[in-house]
Chains A and B, each alone.
Chain A
Amino acid sequence: GQNIDQPTEMTATEGAIVQINCTYQTSGFNGLFWYQQHAGEAPTFLSYNVLDGLEEKGRFSSFLSRSKGYSYLLLKELQMKDSASYLCASLGYSTLTFGKGTMLLVSP
C-alpha cells in the first residue's frame, strides 16, 4: 500500500520562499510527483523526481531522498497566484497515489 503525509495548511507572504514537505511509504516506488491544484480545477503537473537530489524548474524546485522516504517542494518569489493546494503523489507499480494536499495561502 501507499501512505503519504504532508502538512494540511501553510501560509506565507508574497515574495517569500516556502518549503512543503512530504513523507511517503510505498510498496513499489517509481517516482514522486508534485501537482498544483486551484479550487475547482484539475491538478497540474509541477515536478517529478525518481533519483535522489534536487530538480529545479524556474521558481519551483523539488527534492527527493529515497532512503528517507522524503521529498519537498520549494517555491521561491511567491506570488498571489501560487495560493493553491499542492499535492504530493507517489507512483507505485502502475498508479499514482496522492497525499491529502497542502493548502498554501499567500498573503500580500
Chain B
Amino acid sequence: DTEVTQTPKHLVMGMTNKKSLKCEQHMGHRAMYWYKQKAKKPPELMFVYSYEKLSINESVPSRFSPECPNSSLLNLHLHALQPEDSALYLCASSQLNQGQGIGYTFGSGTRLTVV
C-alpha cells in the first residue's frame, strides 16, 4: 500500500457545524502532516505529527483541532469555521529520515466549502 487515503473527498458545512476530516496511511511513515491550499496558491503547512505527537503547529486557529490516534491515522476536527476556511485540505505522510529523498506522499485532499 503506497497511498494516503483521505475522506471525505468533498465536504460542505455550515459555520455552526462540527465535522472531521480523516487521513490514513499504511506505509509505516511516522510523520504526518496537514496542509491547507487555497486556489492557485501553494500548500501551506498547518500541523506536523512525529511519532503520533504534535511537533509543529503553524499558529493555526483553534477552530482546527488535529488528532493522531495511532501511527496510521490523522484526523482534523473542525468547529465554527468561517467561509474563508474554504480550501483543499491535504494530508501527507513521510518517513522521518528524509535522506532517502522520497519526500511526502500526499492524499487526494478534501475539498471543504464553508457556507
**Judging by beta carbons under 8 Å apart, are B108 and A41 in contact?**
yes
**Judging by beta carbons under 8 Å apart, are A95 and B105 in contact?**
no
**Judging by beta carbons under 8 Å apart, are A31 and B109 in contact?**
no
**Judging by beta carbons under 8 Å apart, are A87 and B42 in contact?**
yes
**Judging by beta carbons under 8 Å apart, are A31 and B98 in contact?**
yes
In the bound assembly, the distance between CA atoms of A45 and B103 in angstroms comes to 7
Which of A12-20, A71-79, A96-104 lines the interface with chain B? Answer: A96-104
Known: A50-B101, A101-B42. A42 touches B55 (CB 8 A): no
The B63-115 residues at the A interface (CB cut-off 8 A) are 88, 90, 98-99, 101-109, 111
CB distance from A103 to the nearest CB of B (A): 8
**Judging by beta carbons under 8 Å apart, are A40 and B103 in contact?**
no
Interface residues on A, range: 20 to 34
Interface residue count on the B side (C-beta < 8 Å) = 26
Question: Does any Cβ of A come within 8 Å of B48's Cβ?
Answer: yes
Question: Does any Cβ of A come within 8 Å of B45's Cβ?
Answer: yes
Known: A48-B101, A94-B56. A42 touches B42 (CB 8 A): no
Question: Does any Cβ of B come within 8 Å of A53's Cβ?
Answer: no
User: Chain A contacts of B108 at CB under 8 A?
Assistant: 41-42
Residue pairs across A and B with Cβ atoms less than 8 A apart, 21 shown, are A30-B98, A31-B98, A31-B101, A40-B88, A41-B109, A43-B43, A44-B106, A45-B104, A45-B105, A48-B101, A50-B99, A87-B42, A89-B103, A91-B98, A95-B33, A95-B45, A95-B56, A96-B104, A98-B44, A101-B40, A101-B41
> Residues of A at under 8 Å CB distance from B?
30-31, 33, 35, 40-45, 48, 50, 87, 89, 91, 94-101, 103
> Residues of B at under 8 Å CB distance from A?
31, 33, 40-45, 48, 50, 55-56, 88, 90, 98-99, 101-109, 111
Seed contacts A45-B104, A99-B42; 6 additional CB < 8 Å A-B pairs: A30-B98, A31-B101, A40-B111, A42-B109, A94-B31, A94-B50
